[in-house]
Amino acid sequence: MEERAFEKYCQFIRVISGLINDHFKDQKEYIHCKEGCSYCCQNGEYPCSKLEFEFLKIGFTTLPIETQQKIINKVVKLKAEKSVFHGEKFVHECPFLLEDKCSVYNFRMIICRTFGLAYYEQSDDPNIPSTIKSPFCMEQGLNYSDVFDKETKTFSREKFIQSGHKTEPIAYNLGLENLKTKFGKDVMDIDFGETKKLLEWL
């Protein structure tokens, strides 16, 4: 990663981290994330931009050689499993997850930084309104599980009243494309490059 790109991206991370942290504070009644809870790192494809991946690699180089080798071994194993996989979506544990902890936490991708909050998913059809999505840990009785209605796929007013929560549940638009437009591309002139699944970068 070029030094100038590195500086810009670090600035971008600082800006969005403040925003994301504020959202987590606002929704703290619904958030059950804690150290050692790595469910979100065990079932995904982890899409990221080329710039994010370059930043992730910097974090990888700071790790002890033994830790790097463990990650490399996981990548090799995952690629072998994917080569014989015939389904539509190859969901797997993140290779950077070691002993239920992110080994490159300070260099983690944006999707990792925003996961846990409810979010909007925009349809490709502009005539179809955005839908509210809950993080999949909700299915495990975690974030937003007591106010999210699985049938209607949205927050339940009735469940909110019954829950006794003081703060309304809110969904945010924290997708990479939105953050890039809001802070990265237009404000900081950052070129993120193409986006691919993590295993495709490795």
The predicted structure's pLDDT at residue 185 = 64
The total of other beta-carbon atoms located within 10 Å of residue 117's CB is 23
The predicted structure's pLDDT at residue 187 = 62
Coil, strand or helix: which one is 14?
A: helix
Q: What angle do CA 183, 94, 74 make, to 5 degrees?
A: 140
3-class secondary structure for 92-134?
ECCCCEECCEECCHHHCCHHHHHECECEEECCCCCCCCCEEEC
44 within 8 A of 91, measured Cβ to Cβ:
yes
Q: Encoding tokens for residue 149?
A: 């209605």
The predicted structure's pLDDT at residue 79 = 96
Report the distance separating Cα 148 and Cα 29, nearest Å. Answer: 13
169 within 8 A of 144, measured Cβ to Cβ:
yes
Structure confidence by residue, pLDDT tens digits, 21-60: 999 999 999 999 888 888 889 999 999 999 999 999 999 9
Report the distance separating Cα 119 and Cα 111, nearest Å. Answer: 12
Beta-ladder partners of 148:
155
Task: Provide the whole-model pTM.
Answer: 0.89
Q: Encoding tokens for residue 166?
A: 């003081």
Coil, strand or helix: which one is 38?
A: coil
The predicted structure's pLDDT at residue 183 = 77
Report the distance separating Cα 68 and Cα 87, nearest Å. Answer: 29
The predicted structure's pLDDT at residue 176 = 81
Beta-ladder partners of 92:
44
Per-residue tens of pLDDT for the chain, all 202 residues: 788 888 889 999 999 999 999 999 999 999 998 888 888 899 999 999 999 999 999 999 999 999 999 999 999 999 999 999 988 899 999 999 999 999 999 999 999 999 999 998 776 666 777 788 889 899 888 999 999 998 888 899 999 999 999 999 999 988 888 887 777 665 678 889 999 999 999 9
117 within 8 A of 27, measured Cβ to Cβ:
yes
